[in-house]
Structure 1
Amino acid sequence: MIIDNDFAGDPDDLYQLVHHLLSPTVDIRAVVGSRLRDGDPFDPGPDSASHAVAILHDMFARMGLKSTELIAQGSNHPLASRTEPRPSAAVDAIIAEAMRNDVDAPLFYVAGGGLTDLASAVLTEPRIAERMTVVWIGGNEHTGLATPPPDAMPIEYNLVIDLLAGQAVFNDSELTVWQVPRDVYRQCLVSDAELRLRIAATGDLGRHLYEETIAVTELAATQGQGPAETYALGDSPLVLLTALQSLFEADSSSSRHQIMPTPAIEDDGSYTARPDARPMRVFTQVDTRLMFEDMFLKLQEFDTWLSLP
């Protein structure tokens, strides 16, 4: 597995990272710290990918992990065009892992932010497209499957980070995509009571995760949003759809999806159907019970293990 996320942004990616790191069946080969869009409220400066890497090093240290060689920085800049890759250490790591010939296990590329570095990698080495499955949290709702939420961003948050990269992946590449669009990742709500009692109560790591979400809710309150007793951990389906597949006839069997030809993404974030395009999965429902209960219990187990003499 390669993990790619904008770790300087919404802390839901930290929950996803920790959950994946605590999942024993997952062989994580690289963790990419990727960029946010310019002017993003979480990190408005030009160095958000660099900041993401610093946060990754901090999280590894909090978990006692020494394998920081897995961390790779993505580009701090979006694609300039759909045909020009942005070189980065992350691009090199993605290509190197995808082109290995000494493993038989399937390679999943799980992305919870923009797609700059994946697009750059496939533009640099198109052969990686046949060697991985991309699980992406992002993109607008599909007509006939869901409607946008009230006052929705016209172009979904993760797609607008690098619209050209999204087009390079959907429109121009042969990558196999499993998409978790906005209407589905918005299903991934946890209550503040759950965060207090099932996350914050599980030692220093859990308290840190909880404090990161509280900082966001407090900031939102100053901007006239809320109050709310829930928080969306929208990146967590990356764990559910990979680490928590079924044993027999292995698949993401507890969640629901539709198969459709991969549509083209237009400049306004909408889709244009392409009946002859390669197939993709669009998830319509995710198993939040399994996903969150597994995360709560793994954090509890980890805290118990740390306290052993």
Structure 2
Amino acid sequence: MTRIPSSDAFAPIAPHWRLGETPWQAITTPGGSRVRVILDNDFSGDPDDLFQLVHHVLSPNTDIRLVIASHLRDGDPFDPGPASATNARTVARDVFARMGLLSEELIVAGAEHGLRERGNGLPGPAVDAIIAEALREDTDQPLYYLAGGGLTDLASALLIEPRIAERMTLVWIGGNEHEDLAVPPPGGMPIEYNLLIDPIAGQVVFTDTEVEIWQIPRNIYRQCLVSHAELRLRVAPCGELGRYLYDETQLVIDRATEQGRGPAETYALGDSPLVLLSALQSTFEADPSSSDHVVRPTPALDPDGRYIDRPDARPMRIYTRVDTRLMFEDMFLKLQEFTRWHAGS
């Protein structure tokens, strides 16, 4: 439901900057980047991904190599298509322009629809870029593939070039609850929202590849609530960018209220763990040490999203708690710091 700009001819708001620079910091974050990341999200859908995108580009410990604007399922109420990936790219470019960020060449539209069959990937510029980044030999920084929507483009890349599986870690917001860890929410969709975007891609990634997975299933990303008071007092006052983020969430709240599902004094920023688990790792024994997970053999996925045990499969992480205090306080402060600089320069 994120509003799609009527034009994609964006003029970045001054002052201008590029990824890798931090001109808003009076005291520079030490050390620079420590991990490479590929961001993959459906930016024309739920505006929680806008918060994740802004937070990530303000997090200098991550070297953002690629931003993939991915599709939603056909008929999705947020953006019914048929060009939701193109729309997502337009939204992401608009966010960069609102921030004065001159790195829009990193934004690539992914496939406009899901996989049609399990054995064949969908070639395209996003897939080519994923493969090229994963196969780089000129860096030893770990590569995280951070996905807040469906898995079409990653699945295609893994099918076309299987070697990349051992060269990255997938952090994915999605998938049903694991039966012994949590129960579905009241009235929850039988197949979790992000998995339903492309169930075949989910089967490919879980079952047919060897890529390492860190999963944030539905019961965990539903923990990522901010209050309406926080949105009013800590986001909306942060200049034009903050007001934009606030207004996009308020559109969804108003629509939900009209449909009889509200009002509520909270909003779920469910994609924000992508920042927490990549940018906010511990200094010593680098890891997302403030959050909890279990390690289990990676299950297979059946077509309805259920997990099938595979005792001999590769291990994966299933997160059972995320550190929302660290995650959201860091976001609020970075947004405030950036806004002061951008407004005063």
TM class, shorter-length: over 0.9
2:125 corresponds to which residue?
89
CA contact (8 A) 2:70 2:84 kept: yes
Are 1:22 and 2:58 counterparts? Answer: yes
1:201 corresponds to which residue?
237
2:213 corresponds to which residue?
177
Name the CA distance, whole Å, in 2 between partners of 1:288 and 1:135: 17
Are 1:115 and 2:115 counterparts? Answer: no
CA contact (8 A) 1:73 1:88 kept: no
1:232-252 CA-to-partner distances (Å, cap 9, x unmatched) read 000000000010000001101
Cα RMSD of the aligned pairs, angstroms, is 0.6
Instruction: Output the amino acid matched with 1:171.
Output: T
Are 1:274 and 2:310 counterparts? Answer: yes
Q: Percent identity?
A: 68
Offset at residue 307 of structure 1 (A): 2.5
Are 1:51 and 2:120 counterparts? Answer: no
Instruction: Output the amino acid matched with 1:119.
Output: A
- 23, 28, 36: which one pairs with 2:72? 36
Name the CA distance, whole Å, in 1 between partners of 2:125 and 2:240: 31
Are 1:101 and 2:137 counterparts? Answer: yes
Q: Map residues 241-260 of structure 1 onto 2, 5 A cutoff.
A: 241-260=277-296
Are 1:78 and 2:114 counterparts? Answer: yes
Offset at residue 68 of structure 1 (A): 1.1
1:123-153 CA-to-partner distances (Å, cap 9, x unmatched) read 0100000000000000000011000000010
1:223 corresponds to which residue?
259
Secondary structure of the structure 2 residue equivalent to 1:134: strand
Offset at residue 222 of structure 1 (A): 1.6
CA contact (8 A) 1:16 1:235 kept: yes
Question: TM-score, normalising length from structure 2?
Answer: 0.89
Offset at residue 217 of structure 1 (A): 0.6
Name the CA distance, whole Å, in 2 between partners of 1:151 and 1:308: 47
Structure 1: which 5+ runs fail to align?
none
Are 1:5 and 2:34 counterparts? Answer: no
Are 1:69 and 2:105 counterparts? Answer: yes
Instruction: Write out the 4+ residue segments of structure 1 that deviate beyond 4 Å after TM superposition.
Output: none
CA contact (8 A) 2:67 2:108 kept: yes
Secondary structure of the structure 1 residue equivalent to 2:55: helix
Secondary structure of the structure 2 residue equivalent to 1:165: helix
CA contact (8 A) 2:72 2:81 kept: no
Name the CA distance, whole Å, in 2 between partners of 1:48 and 1:40: 9
Q: Map residues 122-141 of structure 1 onto 2, 5 A cutoff.
A: 122-141=158-177
Name the CA distance, whole Å, in 2 between partners of 1:215 and 1:24: 30
2:188 corresponds to which residue?
152
Instruction: Output the amino acid matched with 1:17.
Output: L
Name the CA distance, whole Å, in 2 between partners of 1:45 and 1:242: 31
Instruction: Output the amino acid matched with 1:181.
Output: P
CA contact (8 A) 2:291 2:319 kept: yes
Name the CA distance, whole Å, in 2 between partners of 1:89 and 1:224: 41
Name the CA distance, whole Å, in 1 between partners of 2:264 and 2:127: 39
Secondary structure of the structure 2 residue equivalent to 1:149: coil
Are 1:308 and 2:308 counterparts? Answer: no
Instruction: Output the amino acid matched with 2:301.
Output: I
Instruction: Output the amino acid matched with 1:157.
Output: Y
Secondary structure of the structure 2 residue equivalent to 1:242: helix
Number of residue pairs the alignment of both structures matches: 309
Name the CA distance, whole Å, in 1 between partners of 2:153 and 2:332: 31
Instruction: Output the amino acid matched with 2:104.
Output: T
1:164 corresponds to which residue?
200
Instruction: Output the amino acid matched with 1:151.
Output: G
Structure 2: which 5+ runs fail to align?
1-36
Name the CA distance, whole Å, in 2 between partners of 1:45 and 1:22: 30
Offset at residue 87 of structure 1 (A): 1.4
Name the CA distance, whole Å, in 2 between partners of 1:213 and 1:129: 35
